[in-house]
Amino acid sequence: VSAVFHSVTHTGEISFFVEGEWHVEGDSLIFHNDASSITIEEGDPGLVGNVAPRVAYPILNFDETTLRIERQGAIYDYHRRLE
């Protein structure tokens, strides 16, 4: 499934987008990022660093509208956009 990922640093120094794809593999949410597609929304492009081509996060729970994952010790809920 194609997607656009938005990243904002906790200090608000930079905000950027990167295109990619995601899928579920076993009990993990897998992101494949296209590092060549980075679009800087705000801040210094030099702060982006390296965009990992692939990242995986454990899925803690899911239902029809919410997917809960863990990233670096923090819990994130992704909510399905109902149109």
pLDDT (0 to 100) of residue 54: 94
Distance CA 80, CA 63 (A): 10
For 29-37, what is the mean pLDDT?
Answer: 90
27 CB neighbour count, 10 Å cutoff: 9
Residue 63 vs residues 6, 15, 80: alpha-carbon distances, Å: 23, 29, 10
Question: Over 70: is that where the pLDDT of 9 sits?
Answer: no
pLDDT per position as a tens digit, 35-78: 888 888 888 888 777 888 999 999 999 998 898 999 888 898 88
- The pair of structure tokens assigned to 10 is 């906790």
Distance CA 76, CA 57 (A): 10
- Does the model's pTM come out above 0.75? no
